[in-house]
Structure 1
Amino acid sequence: MDSILVTGNGPLNGQIPIAGAKNACLTLMPATLLSEEPLTLTNAPRLSDIKTMTALLQSLGAEVSALQDGQVLAMSSHNLTSHTADYEIVRKMRASNLVLGPLLARFGEAVVSLPGGCAIGARPMDLHVEGLEALGAEIELKDGYLHAKTSGGLKGAVHEMRFASVGATENIVMAATLAKGTTVLKNAAREPEIVDLVECLRKMGAQISGEGTSTIEIQGVDRLHGATHQVVTDRIELGTYMLAPAICGGEVELLGGRMSLVDSFAAKLNAAGIEVTETANGLKVARKNGRVRSVDVVTEPFPGFPTDLQAQMMALMCTAEGVSVLEERIFENRFMHAPELVRMGANIEVHGGTATVTGVGRLKGAPVMATDLRASVSLILAGLAAEGETTVSRVYHLDRGYEHVVRKLEGVGAKIERIKGQ
């Protein structure tokens, strides 16, 4: 099993290109199931999760081709052969559940295994089921699979979600595009990935308004057509690499970055003493003098502080001046990186959904183990600022969400290498 060796090497300087968004691409790919005509995605990230979604769509009979070194995905669902998303594929990645709404909308039936993915909490499917049932679906759980069907097709409805779930919003919006009548989804999630999905669906002929707000209205249409769409910049990769110069010192420009994607995160960096400025090509992040100041963090749905940047922010706070409190309100069990950071000399106390971090002068390199996708990169960031060598094992998590991480960090002066497993 591969590992990554990181050696603390001082400030970072240069440019890092930011890829298309993993979470957006994983949402856009199932949209091909809504139409017989081709859907082409450009600026696709080259990640193992994309390969998993490709395998899932192909298992349903969809055609998926990766072109231009994987950055273009050409898809067609004109001849599907199955409506069943099998456990052996779905268990690998939670986003697999996003085939449920499209299959149900277009074919009137779907059988989808309960999903897997990172072990960061239960993340149940109840909000998805409630929304689709509001549109007239009949859904029952049997032997670990959701069996969904409709009698006469889905019908528009007014539905208010109990929590602004991103995945449930995406599933319900896709399903509603082919429902009869108008659907009004209240307490909808507002994430940029949802805005990106709606922009793509609109290119396919969907009639949708209100994306980016808490109320989305969908007027159902008889059919959707093909389209070409560019995947939005990955705000989580952007935020992660913004933290590299913040934790190491130096000045790095993130190519393709947009402030609108990371407003609340950039505000926290500014409060910690990190300069974040917009450039003609993206965002520039600089830390040139003194220790970072401690700041408190509460994870919230967009536009709040992203839960997917909590682990990386904790790594920064480990060497900040003062005490910071990080409160996780999105997922339970998402502080599994804390004991690994403690192995590197961090001072962290975890009580339920709250972690208290007392900054230390310097972390020390150590062998550590990645527990999930974002935890893996937080340990790499910590290693960049640590004294000596840090070996991060179980980095297969990393491959799910970051393309060419070693190459990108090497490009700005980091001393990092991937060690092939035996």
Structure 2
Amino acid sequence: MGKVLTIHGGVPLEGTVRVGGAKNLVPKAMVAALLGDTPSVLRNVPEIKDVTVVRNLLEIHGVKVDQDPETGDLTMDPSQAKSASNQAIDAHAGDSRIPILFCGPLIHSLGEAFIPDLGGCRIGDRPIDFHLEVLREFGAVVDKAVDGIRISAPLGLKGAKVHLKYPSVGTTEQVLLSAVRAKGVTEVSNAAIEPEILDLISLLQKMGAIISVHRDRIIRIQGVDKLSGYDHTALPDRNEAASWASAALVTKGDIFVQDAQQRDLTAFLHVYRQIGGEFEVKSNGIRFYHPGGDLNPLILETDVHPGFMTDWQQPLVVALTQASGVSVIHETVYENRFGFTDALVRMGATVQVHTDCLGSTPCRFGQRNFKHSAVVVGPAQLSGAEIDVPDLRGGFSHLIAALAADGTSRVTGIELINRGYEHFMEKLTALGANVELSE
């Protein structure tokens, strides 16, 4: 059954939390260390499960990984990189999708790569087919086997002209990690341009990569023969910052999120203030608080950067259950991201999910029977409930709903939250939450 988190609700969260390095950058930065011929140093590394998974995968591939016990900084030396057994990769990968990003760097280093069946949060279809198509365009040979996929490039990877059907973050990362040491020029159009992508580009430039970002989502990469290691400090996790901001709103609290960056939260801050939340930007972070009075309903569509990020949607839906009126949310990035609302309904919220595109623009999930739009009517009086965490962001959303609810909630499956929220139990306690963890 795992651990059970008991939450006694009705306590406003107040105090300071610090966000660590971005979950959506750090594991990919660790993979990039394989591309260098000297050690790399990565700073501001959060203690989350995804980091442990990638560290284990690097080590079974012969990369020497040392962590500073005081700062948490990682030093990764790829000079003894080697192939790993299928069984070892499968055992260490677990439910992570990170191994697919090892392909380009491993092909450059060793000539081949193996990836097992891949997991991840069940929030929608994230097929690895996009990744495999990209690798084929670089000249890779993909062989599917019973236990996974073997990818090789007998003639080495060659630059390619790649057009992404959708500006996928993962596929853009695949292109970058494969193209920097491929022969010739690569151009990717309709690329993702999230802050974490731009930070990965900065890191690769430090290694000696030749990369330029152009308007209209075009990125060009001139392949080079060799790269050196990097010394890089990961940007702060904007998703964790937005989650704590939503927690302040839902619990009628006041939270200072240390190291939160206004630059990377522009779309979120706009919506936060529209709802009726308030914030103060300081030199070392952002204070988020509920200023009193009613919260406002709104109409919202998620989108790729610079739009309103899908990872911000779930915690914000909990806030909208407390707004006075009808809110409409159209999810355009992942088709199954409203599964978490079942628990909110059991807690007393009024949420209806629909297959129609309830937004200004029809999206790629329209007419495909995915419940990807939601109507929320508030304010709702939430009550404690038995909850099983469905995915990372949905799980955190359940936590803040339980923290705002009357009565006691029992939450299982909290191990999923460890994938992306560093020391979240300690942070909850420091903010005054009345919580207990038991086996």
Q: TM-score, normalised by structure 1?
A: 0.95
CA distance, structure 1, for counterparts of residue 168 and residue 84 of structure 2: 24
4+ aligned runs moved over 6 Å, structure 1: none
Q: 1:98-177 counterparts in 2 under 5 A?
A: 98-177=101-180
Q: 1:59-74 counterparts in 2 under 5 A?
A: 59-69=60-70, 71-74=72-75
Tell whether 2:199 aligns with 1:180. Answer: no
Residue 438 of structure 2 is matched in structure 1 by: 420
CA distance, structure 2, for counterparts of residue 380 and residue 27 of structure 1: 28
Residue 21 of structure 1 is matched in structure 2 by: 22
CA distance, structure 2, for counterparts of residue 187 and residue 114 of structure 1: 27
Tell whether 2:332 aligns with 1:308. Answer: no
Structure 1 residue 211: Cα displacement = 7.5
Tell whether 2:381 aligns with 1:379. Answer: no
CA distance, structure 1, for counterparts of residue 329 and residue 69 of structure 2: 41
Structure 1 residue 49: Cα displacement = 1.5
Structure 1 residue 25: Cα displacement = 0.5
CA distance, structure 2, for counterparts of residue 97 and residue 235 of structure 1: 24
Structure 1 residue 336: Cα displacement = 1.8
CA distance, structure 1, for counterparts of residue 195 and residue 128 of structure 2: 22
CA distance, structure 1, for counterparts of residue 49 and residue 282 of structure 2: 31
Q: 1:11-410 counterparts in 2 under 5 A?
A: 11-69=12-70, 71-82=72-83, 86-210=89-213, 214-351=217-354, 352-410=371-429
With over 3 angstroms needed to count, the CA separation of the structure-2 counterparts of 1:263 and 1:411, relative to structure 1, is same
Structure 1 residue 40: Cα displacement = 1.2
Describe the SS at the equivalent of 1:184.
strand
Q: Which runs of 5+ in 1 are unaligned?
A: none
CA distance, structure 1, for counterparts of residue 213 and residue 3 of structure 2: 44
Describe the SS at the equivalent of 2:24.
helix
Structure 1 residue 140: Cα displacement = 3.1
Structure 1 residue 358: Cα displacement = 1.1
Q: Is the 8 A contact 1:91 1:114 kept in 2?
A: no
Q: Which runs of 5+ in 2 are unaligned?
A: 355-370
CA distance, structure 2, for counterparts of residue 287 and residue 147 of structure 1: 52
With over 3 angstroms needed to count, the CA separation of the structure-2 counterparts of 1:183 and 1:16, relative to structure 1, is same
With over 3 angstroms needed to count, the CA separation of the structure-2 counterparts of 1:245 and 1:183, relative to structure 1, is same
CA distance, structure 1, for counterparts of residue 3 and residue 431 of structure 2: 23
CA distance, structure 1, for counterparts of residue 293 and residue 214 of structure 2: 42
Deviations 1:46-82 (A, max 9, x none): 0112111111111212122222357211111111221
User: What amino acid does structure 1 have at the position aligned with 2:152?
Assistant: K
Structure 1 residue 83: Cα displacement = 5.5
Deviations 1:225-279 (A, max 9, x none): 1121111100110110111211122322111011121111111111101112311
Residue-pair matches, total:
420
CA distance, structure 2, for counterparts of residue 298 and residue 175 of structure 1: 32
Structure 1 residue 21: Cα displacement = 0.7
CA distance, structure 1, for counterparts of residue 393 and residue 423 of structure 2: 15
CA distance, structure 2, for counterparts of residue 32 and residue 123 of structure 1: 25
Describe the SS at the equivalent of 1:64.
strand
Higher alpha-carbon deviation: 278-287 or 61-70: 61-70
CA distance, structure 1, for counterparts of residue 341 and residue 147 of structure 2: 32
Higher alpha-carbon deviation: 153-162 or 44-53: 153-162
Structure 1 residue 179: Cα displacement = 0.9
Q: Is the 8 A contact 2:389 2:411 kept in 1?
A: yes
User: What amino acid does structure 2 have at the position aligned with 1:49?
Assistant: D
Describe the SS at the equivalent of 1:140.
strand
CA distance, structure 1, for counterparts of residue 389 and residue 159 of structure 2: 44
Describe the SS at the equivalent of 1:324.
strand
Describe the SS at the equivalent of 1:345.
coil
With over 3 angstroms needed to count, the CA separation of the structure-2 counterparts of 1:74 and 1:124, relative to structure 1, is same
CA distance, structure 1, for counterparts of residue 103 and residue 330 of structure 2: 32
Structure 1 residue 213: Cα displacement = 6.4
Higher alpha-carbon deviation: 265-274 or 55-64: 55-64
With over 3 angstroms needed to count, the CA separation of the structure-2 counterparts of 1:395 and 1:195, relative to structure 1, is same
User: What amino acid does structure 2 have at the position aligned with 1:257?
Assistant: A
Q: Is the 8 A contact 2:348 2:380 kept in 1?
A: no
CA distance, structure 1, for counterparts of residue 29 and residue 85 of structure 2: 19
User: What amino acid does structure 2 have at the position aligned with 1:214?
Assistant: R
CA distance, structure 1, for counterparts of residue 66 and residue 305 of structure 2: 32
User: What amino acid does structure 2 have at the position aligned with 1:38?
Assistant: P
Higher alpha-carbon deviation: 397-406 or 144-153: 144-153
CA distance, structure 1, for counterparts of residue 194 and residue 157 of structure 2: 25
User: What amino acid does structure 1 have at the position aligned with 2:346?
Assistant: R
CA distance, structure 2, for counterparts of residue 416 and residue 96 of structure 1: 35
